[in-house]
Amino acid sequence: MNLQELIDETNELLYYNSNSWKVIESKQKELLNILSPSTSISKINHSTIKKYIQILKAKGNSPNTINAKTAYFKHILKYAFHNNLISNMPFIPTFKTKNRKDKFLNNSEILQIIQWCRHNKQTELLKIILIGLYTGLRINNILSLQPDNIQNNNLQIYDKKVNSYYTLPISRKIRYILNPETFIPFEINYQRCYYLFNQMKKELLLDKNITIHTLRHSFCSFLVQKDVPIPIIQRLANHKSINTTLRYTHTKFEQLKNAVDML
């Protein structure tokens, strides 16, 4: 089997229902441009991967971006290995990245965002943003919501990242949006949502580190600030490890420092 055939097979089996298809497609095209589509997957080895990474570096990709692109490469090679298409799983390194504090939205920024959506008649985007802020759901989960996911003021969510279902209570503030009798699945796709969010960010001159995923970070941060116990936040965010949830506690410590400075 060659690289093109492997990509075609994994597309059909793994990615046919992905809201981030355009992102995956971009990684595929670049991979095929660097390594020939006719490359036999049985001949992919350390040298092949080293060449791929060196070209990514030469093109100016950051460590984060290289990790994202090699993660896709690793994923399809794992598929090949587990299905006995290759006998050995090549090692693909992960590069160290700079630790950055997660960005959180404050009340002023949230108000600006809501006003922008209303002024520009971006009703779907506004609903997505409010759901993100009050549920902490990842954007792909929000975009794939169906009326059947809404039951007795709860959301029944299948989280692909951790491969499990979980139940999430719906805040009273967004029950008018998540009403099973009136809820209409979103027509907007991931790429359009991403584009509109970035356009809004530029027009409002918001921090460049704010992304649509910041909605999820803000949800967790708000709960920490409200003194919600960490294990409960972990369950609401559906974090596999509590260590992921603990990173939000620094926002509470910053509040304590600010309080001391007021003395």
Q: Pick 80 or 100 by higher pLDDT.
A: 80
pLDDT tens per residue, range 114-124: 999 999 999 99
Contact 90, 46 (CB under 8 A): yes
The predicted pLDDT at position 181 comes to 94
pLDDT tens per residue, range 8-54: 988 877 654 444 566 778 888 999 999 999 999 999 999 999 999 99
Q: What is the CA 60 to chain-centroid distance, rounded?
A: 23
pLDDT tens per residue, range 139-196: 999 999 999 999 999 999 987 766 778 899 999 999 999 999 999 999 999 889 999 9
Q: Pick 41 or 241 by higher pLDDT.
A: 41
Q: Pick 244 or 147 by higher pLDDT.
A: 147
Residue 126 has pLDDT above 60, yes or no: yes
The predicted pLDDT at position 242 comes to 87
